[in-house]
């Protein structure tokens, strides 16, 4: 059975390095037989920018956000995938604001009464991070990776990452680096076979 993979694209730059390298990983995963969907969060309409803390998703028996907008509908599909990839450039030691809006709404996929007692529709899935950064890994991109290891563990997900530190700031130029291209291809293949 082939994996179903959701690549959640958080880069606001349409011709940027994150999008270009994500496209390579997607193509590679498809070559291995994975069914891939790319969710471009920059094109989704929303009523509220992120989670507003209303707790309606926690009070409901259903695992859905109370807002009926594109983000809520998209987030509700995530349990249908085996692998969920967060694709983002590093902005101020974190992910893009566009991706943050989407991630906050993923709260609706869990029921959390306290940190020791929670249920998640993402348990058993792979949560992956694909990120680019203009700076080094140490004290930079590693902070973003760390930010995702903890929630992945809490949600009961396997965490994997494919990180591209020290990339050029020039849009789309990362795909001119043969080692980066091969790294993205290998990541796509591994996600298809996870």
Residue 168 CB neighbour total at 10 angstroms: 13
As for how many domains the chain has, the answer is: 1
Range of the domain at 94: 4-193
Tens digits of residue pLDDT in 18-57: 999 999 999 999 999 999 999 999 999 888 888 999 999 9
Q: Cα–Cα distance between 163 and 146 in angstroms, integer?
A: 12
Tens digits of residue pLDDT in 156-190: 999 999 988 878 777 667 778 889 999 999 999 99
- Output the pTM of the full model: 0.92
Q: Cα–Cα distance between 11 and 81 in angstroms, integer?
A: 21
Backbone angles phi, psi at 157, to 5 degrees: -100, 150
Contact 134, 167 (CB under 8 A): yes
Tens digits of residue pLDDT in 3-16: 999 999 999 999 88
CATH number of the domain bearing residue 100: 3.40.50.360
Q: Cα–Cα distance between 175 and 169 in angstroms, integer?
A: 12
pLDDT at 172: 65
Tens digits of residue pLDDT in 87-139: 999 888 889 999 999 999 999 999 987 667 788 999 999 999 999 988 778 87
* Mean pLDDT of the chain, nearest integer: 91
pLDDT at 4: 98
Contact 63, 111 (CB under 8 A): yes
Helices (H) and strands (E) in the chain, counts: 6, 7
């Amino acid at each position: 059975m082939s994996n179903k993979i959701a690549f959640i694209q958080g880069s606001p730059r349409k011709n940027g390095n994150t999008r270009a390298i994500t496209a390579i990983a997607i193509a590679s995963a498809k070559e291995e037989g994975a069914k891939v969907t790319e969710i471009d969060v920059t094109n989704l309409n929303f009523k509220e920018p992120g989670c507003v803390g209303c707790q309606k998703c926690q009070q409901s028996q259903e695992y859905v956000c109370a807002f009926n907008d594109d983000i809520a509908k998209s987030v509700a599909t995530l349990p249908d995938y085996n692998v969920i990839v967060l694709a983002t450039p590093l902005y101020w030691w974190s992910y893009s604001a566009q991706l943050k809006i989407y991630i906050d709404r993923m709260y609706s996929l869990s029921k959390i009464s306290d940190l020791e007692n929670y249920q998640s529709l993402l348990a058993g899935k792979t949560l992956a991070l694909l990120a680019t950064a203009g700076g080094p890994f140490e004290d930079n991109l590693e902070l973003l990776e760390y930010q995702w290891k903890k929630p992945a563990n809490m949600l009961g997900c396997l965490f994997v990452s494919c990180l591209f530190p020290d990339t050029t700031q020039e849009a789309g130029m990362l795909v001119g680096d043969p080692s980066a291209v091969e790294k993205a291809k290998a990541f796509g293949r591994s996600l298809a076979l996870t």
